[in-house]
Homo-oligomer: A and B are copies of this chain.
Amino acid sequence: MATSLITGPSANSPDRNEAGEDVIRVGVIGYGYWGPNIVRNFHGQDHSNVVAVCDKSPKSLHRVKAAYPAIHCTSDANELLISPDIDLIAVVTPVWTHYELAKAALENGKHVFVEKPFTTNAAQAEELIELAERKHLKIMVDHTFLFTGAVKRIRSFIDDGTLGKLYYYDSTRVNLGLFQHDVNVIWDLAPHDLSIMDYVIAEKPEAVVATGQGHLNGIANIAFLTLYYPNNVIGHINVNWLSPVKVRTTLIGGEKKMLVWNDIEVDEKIKLYDKGVQMGNPEGLYQMLVSYRTGDMWAPKVEQVEALKVEAAYFVDCILNNKTPFNDGQAGLRIVRMLEAADESLKQKGKIIQL
């Protein structure tokens, strides 16, 4: 039976802030690489507070204690999952544990914030979505990039017609770094691009082709995805854990304008090129270049906020006001379906897999 995690003065009504408004009480499971960011952005906010953190590693819990003496620490996830003092469970653990933890949280009446990718397969995601709906609970999948100034700006340039008819979306996301377990580079890096494409491109992809190779432990560490969209839109993602240099560059081509998003740039992340191509009349025998239009380049100021902070506040707001976040379980499911299809294509060396 659940007993209160919270003792002492800070346990007094954690569900109200000083203004008497509701405050969501968050339990965070997993305090490895990303967990500290989750805690920092949910904790001490206007409408949310982290009340407990769970991690298997004593060292991690020690770090929590040092930084947040008031937060309850435990190595037993169940404490959080069944606690009546927790409204929202953040699942910041390896992918293969997402389903089980999220399911337990939902069954215990808690909203769920899950790291990307949502689950290891579509069936799990569908079950969690169904469970949450039945229990009237919210799921948010942590597609952090959707809350960056850059991605918002890209979406607006597509939505408002600045780019014109979309031609292609081509992302390179490579660096030196490697997971050690059962997740390949596609499941690690591509969810960023897939969720961004899901967000900024109006249509949904129809099929995927993936190729790649594993060089160390049989798990693919380099992979290339092609996504076929309606209306000849094509997407491509180049992910690589064995690159000597870090690259985070996306080219987006449209009929009217073209865009380069270099996320490594500090100040000028997005460059919009007033360039376009027109079919010209051939002249002469050989290799005629099309007449193309080339004008100014413009680097709009991009909002500089911590995306995760915006995302956390947005989820809290969705819970408090019963709104469905756009990066909900359905969004997470769409990405998982693409990942599954990519895995299947990768296994079959580029066989096209319909979505």
Contact = CB atoms under 8 A, between A and B. Distances in A.
A241 B345 CA distance: 27
Contacts of A172: 172
Interface in A166-199: 167-168, 170, 172, 174, 176-181
A273 B245 contact: yes
B349 A215 contact: no
A350 interface: yes
Given A224-B224, A287-B179, A170 B238 contact: yes
A179 B236 CA distance: 22
Interface centre among A69, A273, A300 (most CB of B within 10 A): A273
A352 interface: yes
A228 interface: yes
Chain A interface residue count: which class? Answer: 35 or more
B167 A32 contact: no
Contact of A251 (B168, B215, B243, B292): B243
30 contacts: A32-B285, A33-B289, A34-B286, A35-B286, A56-B284, A57-B284, A172-B172, A176-B275, A176-B292, A177-B289, A178-B277, A209-B209, A209-B349, A209-B350, A211-B234, A215-B255, A222-B236, A222-B253, A224-B224, A224-B236, A228-B349, A244-B251, A244-B271, A245-B273, A268-B297, A294-B301, A297-B299, A299-B299, A345-B350, A349-B352
Interface of A: 30, 32-35, 55-57, 59-60, 69, 92-94, 97, 167-168, 170, 172, 174, 176-181, 207, 209, 211-217, 222, 224, 226, 228, 232-234, 236, 238, 240-245, 251, 253, 255, 258-260, 267-268, 271, 273-275, 277, 279-280, 282-290, 292, 294-301, 345, 349-352
